[in-house]
Structure 1
Amino acid sequence: MRIGLLTEGGYPYVSGEAGLWCDRLVRGLARHEFDVYALSRCEQQETDGWVPLPPQVSRVRTASPWEPEDDGIVLGRRARRRFAEYYGELATALCTAAPGDPAGASQEASALEADRFANALYGLAELARDEGGLSAALRSDTAVRALERACRAPGAHRSARQARVPELLTVAARLERALRPLSLDWYEDDALGAVDLCHAASGGPAALPGLLARHFCDVPLLVTEYGVRLRAHYLTEPDAPPSIRSLLAAFHGRLAAETYRRAAVITPGNTHARRWQERCGADRAKLRTVHPGMDAAPFAEAGESPECADPRTLVWVGRIEPAKDLVSLLHAFAEIRRAEPGARLRIVGTPSGPEGAAYLAHCRGLAAQLFPDEADGPHDVGRNPVSFEETGGPELPSRADAYASAALVVLSSVVEGFPAGLVEAMFCGRATVSTDVGAVVEAIGGTGLVVPPRNPRALAEACVALLRDPERRERLGAAARARALELFTVEQNIAAFHGIYLEILSRTPARRVVLDDMGEPLPFGAPAEAHVPGRWADPAARIAVRGGPGWATDTPVAATTPVSATEGASR
């Protein structure tokens, strides 16, 4: 079958967050053909380029919604009237009290607002299709005035009514960026209309092209989320004014609800994401939990030889940023040292951006304060109880070596999605002590100790208990490795999605029916073998072309021009 893979800031970009997962999925499903439709997040990502693509990726179309460009389209009077109507309806849906608010609307009123949002969204999409784009209209004074009227109208929630003009301008600009996929030329019969299934690798803007492909072409939609966009909004907008936070949260919530309503199947990566999806209105009957697939091979040697270099060493591995709460870990380690004077802590990771670099400097200073009498020089790592290191050096060539160097792996986060680092430690057969955040409990099951976040004393007590009990550490490590190999490998992830693809296609009505000379449906008019990838064209003839309003590209990757087929008619 032909899959339209929809991504935002991920595959096929080298620096894409979900790139590795998508690459493994595409390579593992070599029997299928993939068209990738990717939204980039920044100029640097496009400069870094793409990962090497397998032959089953026949085409890549990209768009740069971060890049402000004027499409040059001037709407006529009738089109401006339609735009004001649809945008006003969308703004009203965002300003109306949501069911989760203390003064929330009734369930019936909430359903009415959801329908209003959907009708406005698809109305704007149809207008963009008719006119060739809406980029200029979404940045116009008409959009800002419509948003202001909705915020001042009776029934708007309090935070919306308090929005000032600068805040309205900010919200309008953010909505314009989120809605730029409406202006893409991806929703024709020779683009997403030609695929058998759209698979959105995340929610939010990545799923919006899938919604429009379903609306215009009846293409079924599969949505995979390892992190829910609404949750990410709450975490990344902590200091924004209440009006901006509430209006953008309403948009992400309404878009998520519509995405879940239209999707054929929704695959959360863990129970934590599943709860967020249900909160946003996802139907439980559509939910299938599919854990992330991780490559166990790099950790096989450490897992098969669980002996550690030092039974008194603890290791923390990950990106260094405030959400990881290394401050609590350092305070906990101070208590561990009082109970076990020979203990050592290795913090292995790189800072995440400027904020991470500042946080690393703060943690180094705190370590110096907590252990003032210890050696603290670059050549005294062996005697310093806390070391800050990176992988790639002679002592720790890889992350597997970091896990193998310690008896115990610690996670101290206050915010966490799916704890990939813990799963890597489990592949290595290491016992773990973790804070109870995100999907930690779901990942480790009963193979590690879990303590409350921001509680250094509880973290220290759990670590000391395992440091003093090597037999228990060995049992937990063996159980952790067995659990990780059963649930979190690439193979189980690929098998799950292969089955879901077939399930969705088996329940999808035929969309492209071949007719005979009398206008009647022709059974098996396009047999399944008509849609077979192959080298049908000269590679030199396949060149990149510009598409859309100057900010999208259509790049056929391989010289595999599949013959048009009606999969539905042959089913």
Structure 2
Amino acid sequence: MDNRPSRHPLVRLRSSRCEPPGRRWPTGRKIGGAHVRAALLTEGGYPYVDGDAGLWCDRLVRGLDRHEFDLYALSRSRRQEERGLLPLPPQVTRVRTAPLWTAQDDGRAVAYGRRARGRFAEHYGELAGALCATPDTSVGDAVADRFANALYGLAGLAREHGGLGAALRSDIAVRTLERACRASGAPRTARGARVADLLTVTAHLERALRPLSLDWYGDDALGAADLCHATSGGPAALPGLLARHFSGVPLLVTEYDVRLRSHYLTLGPDAAAPAVRALLAAFHGRLATEVYRRAELLTPGNAHARRWQQRCGADRARIRTVYPGMEAARFAEVGESPDRAAPDTLLWVGRVEPDKDLVALLHAFAEVRKEEPRARLRVVGAPNGPDGAAYLGQCRALAAQLFPDEADGAHAVGSNPVSFEEIGGPEAPTLPDAYAAGAIVVLSSVVEGFPTGLIEAMFCGRATVSTDVGAVVEVIGGTGLVVPPRNPRALADACVALLRDPERRARLGAAARARALELFTVEQNIAAFHGIYLEIVSHCPVRRDVLDAAGAPLPFAAPAESHVPAHWSKPHAPAWATTEATR
């Protein structure tokens, strides 16, 4: 069987679970066109209509219009797939999707024979053993290698015999995991796993390992790419790992929200039993380590994410911080007209949820009102899910308790100094209009990744008061005031200081706008990735046979000058060494 990639311009490949009716996605390098053929790997996001981080991916693809993109998307729900795909630019030559929300093997489920079952038990046993290994820095590399060998062994089995779904859900998988948990040397938490815990962990591993069963790893798919760009860690990076393993395609991983950190936050003490938490934390930690070890480059969106990657074993030399690009033009009018702001108004903008700690903000504002009776607070944002709706109701009740209807010289009868609004309402028809109405933008979060709301405020030239969480200090860079989280008194003092000093507000706002325009624009982000793509391809070219229109090899299609075995500035190697290096 010939597995060499086809470069014929008329080739059309069938996508798996992806093509809208009547639409075909051609493949092949454009004649005289793209510099790089990139495979963009996403999970639950682009190119779906309601995907997370879809806007950033769309801007990246449209901005890098000199490159050619194949999209490989993992969907999270049936609803997401039913809503369909976004309109795509012409540089997207192919789209393939696969679900993470269903256990179906897409028609590829097979009954393994005795030898295949034995191989599965061996590889899955190695995987489970790596998860149950006692944490020890002295054997960390050995455990990481054991996990990697098991992962690629399972992927090879799936490639040879069909999907792994049935095997990963089988009694063999449960019994193999149980033996690993009961083995000598396993952590006490793993040894205490009950049957229900083992079933829960097995089901989670089956979902997490579904990308191993995809038919994306041949030379007519990911193997034909010049590089794979995973837009997050975790399952989205798995196809890139396998493309690197099977075809030598270099992997680039961008993380604006570290998946390992998100897993730790989601799977708290109240969410699962101790054994389940320990085993799943071990799995996601081992997977993150393997992704960071094998990626050619890592591009975290901030220093906070960078530190997480380094703690998981990422080589500092292969990390490049690339800030996410945001559209600055929509805030230009507000940023160039700072006098539109109401001088006594504090503004909070974002998604309403407990992590934003609006309760602390309301208590801080009560202290502000004692010092500045004319101050007002506008909370602009919609609740994030049912928990957010309940939290919004709690905040409204607290505001009514702290600030009963009053009649004084500053406000009309029956008014409240705190207002809760949503974008699109009469007071805030657009997001720039909301920022235009506040003199100071406040962030009160206790948990924050990359604070996009702060950058929007900086584009608008607004002074800011923020809690020291996530990447806030890195983003602000001295252009705003930063206080400890969960400290209403400190938050109030900072707000009062800026309310009483309009000249300082203006200086900080101007500096913040200049910093945002320098570091956080779409143009800056696209230029950075354009250079990174070319750097990776130049340093890690994929070696392939070049084929003619009939599919026959062209042995002299790649000229000898395309491979230089040594730097020109270094002494020439002996003739025999040069000959050996170019074979």
Give the structure 2 partner of residue 60 of structure 1: 95
Establish whether residue 184 from structure 1 lines up as the match of residue 214 from structure 2. Answer: yes
1:95/1:160 contact within 8 Å kept: yes
Give the aligned residue type for 2:349: V
Per-residue deviation at 1:45?
1.6
> Structure 1 residue aligned with 2:245, among 193, 215, 231?
215
Q: What is the SS of the residue equivalent to 2:457?
A: helix
Give the structure 2 partner of residue 561 of structure 1: none
Q: 1:382 to 1:284 in 2, by over 3 A?
A: farther
* Ranges in structure 2 where 5+ consecutive residues have no aligned partner: 1-35, 563-583
Per-residue deviation at 1:513?
3.1
Give the aligned residue type for 2:450: F
Per-residue deviation at 1:247?
1.1
> Structure 1 residue aligned with 2:432, among 379, 400, 413?
400
Establish whether residue 19 from structure 1 lines up as the match of residue 50 from structure 2. Answer: no
Q: What is the SS of the residue equivalent to 1:251?
A: helix
Q: 1:147 to 1:373 in 2, by over 3 A?
A: same
Instruction: Show the 5 A alignment for 1:100-139.
Output: 105-107=136-138, 109-139=139-169
1:514/1:525 contact within 8 Å kept: no
Name the CA distance, whole Å, in 1 between partners of 2:254 and 2:520.
16
String of CA shifts for 1:125-146, please: whole Å, max 9, x gaps. Answer: 0000011110010011111111
Establish whether residue 245 from structure 1 lines up as the match of residue 277 from structure 2. Answer: yes
> Structure 2 residue aligned with 1:97, among 114, 129, 134?
134
Name the CA distance, whole Å, in 1 between partners of 2:489 and 2:520.
31
Q: 1:299 to 1:139 in 2, by over 3 A?
A: same
Establish whether residue 485 from structure 1 lines up as the match of residue 522 from structure 2. Answer: no
Give the structure 1 partner of residue 443 of structure 2: 411
Per-residue deviation at 1:49?
2.1
Give the structure 2 partner of residue 82 of structure 1: 119
Name the CA distance, whole Å, in 1 between partners of 2:197 and 2:340.
55
Identity %: 75
Name the CA distance, whole Å, in 2 between partners of 1:523 and 1:392.
59
1:514/1:526 contact within 8 Å kept: no
1:418/1:440 contact within 8 Å kept: yes
Per-residue deviation at 1:524?
2.9
Q: 1:24 to 1:515 in 2, by over 3 A?
A: closer
> Structure 2 residue aligned with 1:234, among 264, 273, 276?
264
Per-residue deviation at 1:349?
0.5
- Which moved further from structure 2: 43-52 or 450-459? 43-52
- Which moved further from structure 2: 237-246 or 172-181? 237-246
Name the CA distance, whole Å, in 1 between partners of 2:318 and 2:445.
31
| Greater length-normalized contact order (CA 8 Å, ≥ 6 residues apart) | 1
Name the CA distance, whole Å, in 1 between partners of 2:342 and 2:283.
51
Name the CA distance, whole Å, in 1 between partners of 2:494 and 2:350.
20
Give the structure 1 partner of residue 361 of structure 2: 329
Q: 1:264 to 1:374 in 2, by over 3 A?
A: same
Name the CA distance, whole Å, in 1 between partners of 2:413 and 2:455.
27
Q: What is the SS of the residue equivalent to 1:281?
A: coil
Establish whether residue 522 from structure 1 lines up as the match of residue 556 from structure 2. Answer: yes
Per-residue deviation at 1:525?
6.8
Give the structure 2 partner of residue 569 of structure 1: none
Name the CA distance, whole Å, in 1 between partners of 2:40 and 2:561.
24
Give the aligned residue type for 1:2: R
Give the structure 1 partner of residue 185 of structure 2: 155
> Structure 1 residue aligned with 2:463, among 401, 415, 431?
431
1:514/1:521 contact within 8 Å kept: yes
Q: What is the SS of the residue equivalent to 2:90?
A: coil
Give the aligned residue type for 1:248: L
2:45/2:52 contact within 8 Å kept: yes
String of CA shifts for 1:397-453, please: whole Å, max 9, x gaps. Answer: 111111110000000001000000000000000000000000000001000000000
Per-residue deviation at 1:255?
0.7
Give the aligned residue type for 1:106: T
Establish whether residue 38 from structure 1 lines up as the match of residue 73 from structure 2. Answer: yes
Q: What is the SS of the residue equivalent to 1:15?
A: coil
Per-residue deviation at 1:163?
1.5
Q: What is the SS of the residue equivalent to 1:356?
A: helix
String of CA shifts for 1:273-319, please: whole Å, max 9, x gaps. Answer: 00000011100010000000000011000001111341100110001
Give the aligned residue type for 1:28: G
Over aligned residues, Cα RMSD in angstroms? 2.1
Give the aligned residue type for 1:270: N
Per-residue deviation at 1:50?
1.9
Q: 1:526 to 1:294 in 2, by over 3 A?
A: farther
> Structure 2 residue aligned with 1:497, among 529, 551, 557?
529
Q: What is the SS of the residue equivalent to 1:207?
A: helix
- Which moved further from structure 2: 462-471 or 233-242? 233-242
1:204/1:229 contact within 8 Å kept: yes
Give the structure 2 partner of residue 277 of structure 1: 309
2:73/2:96 contact within 8 Å kept: yes
Q: 1:401 to 1:78 in 2, by over 3 A?
A: same
String of CA shifts for 1:139-161, please: whole Å, max 9, x gaps. Answer: 11111111111111111112211
Give the aligned residue type for 2:110: I
Give the aligned residue type for 1:5: L
Name the CA distance, whole Å, in 2 between partners of 1:526 and 1:462.
65
Establish whether residue 7 from structure 1 lines up as the match of residue 42 from structure 2. Answer: yes
Name the CA distance, whole Å, in 2 between partners of 1:125 and 1:174.
17
Give the aligned residue type for 1:34: F
Give the aligned residue type for 1:228: V
Give the aligned residue type for 2:504: R
String of CA shifts for 1:5-49, please: whole Å, max 9, x gaps. Answer: 000011101211110000000000100110000001112222222
Per-residue deviation at 1:106?
3.4
Per-residue deviation at 1:520?
9.1
Q: 1:527 to 1:359 in 2, by over 3 A?
A: farther
TM (norm. structure 1) is: 0.88
Instruction: Show the 5 A alignment for 1:508-519.
Output: 508-514=540-546
Establish whether residue 288 from structure 1 lines up as the match of residue 320 from structure 2. Answer: yes
Name the CA distance, whole Å, in 2 between partners of 1:254 and 1:340.
53
Per-residue deviation at 1:193?
0.7
Q: What is the SS of the residue equivalent to 2:340?
A: coil
Per-residue deviation at 1:380?
7.9
TM (norm. structure 2) is: 0.86
Name the CA distance, whole Å, in 2 between partners of 1:337 and 1:515.
75
> Structure 2 residue aligned with 1:255, among 267, 270, 287?
287
Q: What is the SS of the residue equivalent to 2:346?
A: strand
* Ranges in structure 1 where 5+ consecutive residues have no aligned partner: 99-104, 529-571
- Which moved further from structure 2: 85-94 or 308-317? 308-317
Per-residue deviation at 1:268?
0.5
Per-residue deviation at 1:527?
12
Give the structure 2 partner of residue 347 of structure 1: 379
> Structure 1 residue aligned with 2:195, among 165, 169, 172?
165
Q: What is the SS of the residue equivalent to 2:338?
A: coil
Per-residue deviation at 1:234?
1.1
Q: What is the SS of the residue equivalent to 1:114?
A: helix
1:381/1:387 contact within 8 Å kept: no
> Structure 1 residue aligned with 2:84, among 27, 46, 49?
49
Name the CA distance, whole Å, in 2 between partners of 1:506 and 1:59.
24
String of CA shifts for 1:346-379, please: whole Å, max 9, x gaps. Answer: 111111111111111111111111112448xxx9
Q: What is the SS of the residue equivalent to 2:52?
A: coil
Give the aligned residue type for 1:235: L
Give the structure 1 partner of residue 566 of structure 2: none
1:224/1:267 contact within 8 Å kept: yes
